[in-house]
Amino acid sequence: MAARAVLQQADISRALTRIAHEILEDNKGTDGLVLLGIPTRGVELADRLAELLTRIAGGDWVCPVGSLDVTMYRDDLGRNPVRSTAPTRMPGGGIDGRRVVLVDDVLYSGRTIRAALDALADHGRPAAVRLAVLVDRGHRELPIRPDFVGKNLPSAATERVNVRLTGTDGVDAVTIEDGERQHEGPPARLRTLSTARGRGEAA
């Protein structure tokens, strides 16, 4: 099936640069800022954003960056028990009292980000949590929205959005193609932030 190109390498670079500036503006500087990428491609995006933030901010500051695996917190784990896990890597100093930006490649139903908030609560209590995604394709099933978006991409549920990044796939590109309906899990019962391990796909 034919895939239609949505973003090329230059488009992705410009989007990440814009997001980096927006993060610094929203945070009013670098104080307390931490990035956490959601595996797989969210980790590479977080690393690239951290490099941009460090360069834009200048001085001696280096943007803290880590990764947050959400596999064991997903509400569809029972249906997909063979999901592979990825390392969770907290930056030095942890996340308590800091402003955490979760980073993912595509925001779809919102269930990945709900799982990420569950996982995050097991590692500390941030002062605030923001969400940055390269692509927001709509079709939300939970009341979750991104704070920083590279591209809003209205799509049909039967279409597939593919994000490829140089470090993972050897090329930077976002394409969309017809395919089976994507779904991040069954319309399971909603759990509130207060009842799910005290704790909102990127994601």
191 token code pair: 């759990």
Q: Quickly tell me which residue has 């394709």 as its tokens.
A: 137
User: Tokens for 153?
Assistant: 């991409």
Strands (E), the chain: 3-7, 33-37, 65-67, 99-107, 128-136, 148-152, 159-164, 173-178
Q: What is the pLDDT of residues 54-96, one digit of tens each?
A: 999 999 999 999 999 999 998 877 676 656 788 899 999 999 9
Q: Is the pLDDT of residue 196 over 50?
A: no
What is the C-alpha to C-alpha distance for residues 55 and 161, in angstroms, rounded to an integer? 30
Position 173 pLDDT exceeds 70: yes
- Which residues, including other chains, have CB under 8 Å from residue 154's CB and lie 6 or more apart? 137, 138
Q: Is the pLDDT of residue 144 over 70?
A: yes
What average pLDDT does range 105-127 have in this prediction? 96
What are the domain boundaries of the chain? 3-77+86-178
Residue 181: pLDDT over 80: no
> Is the pLDDT at 187 greater than 80, yes or no?
no
Instruction: Output the pLDDT for position 83.
Output: 64
Cα separation of 86 and 71, whole Å? 8
- pTM, two decimals, is 0.85
CATH 3.40.50.2020 fits 3-77+86-178, yes or no: yes
**pLDDT given for residue 200 in this prediction:** 41
Selection from 116, 170, 137, 42 nearest residue 16 by Cα:
42
pLDDT band of 199, cuts 50, 70, 90 = very low
Mean pLDDT of the chain: 88
Look at the block and give the residue holding tokens 């209590």. Answer: 125
Query: Which of the two residues, 182 and 32, has the higher pLDDT score?
Result: 32
Q: Are 99 and 71 in contact (CB under 8 A)?
A: no
What is the Cα 119 distance to its own chain's centre? 13
Name the least confident of 23-37, 38-52, 69-83, 131-145: 69-83
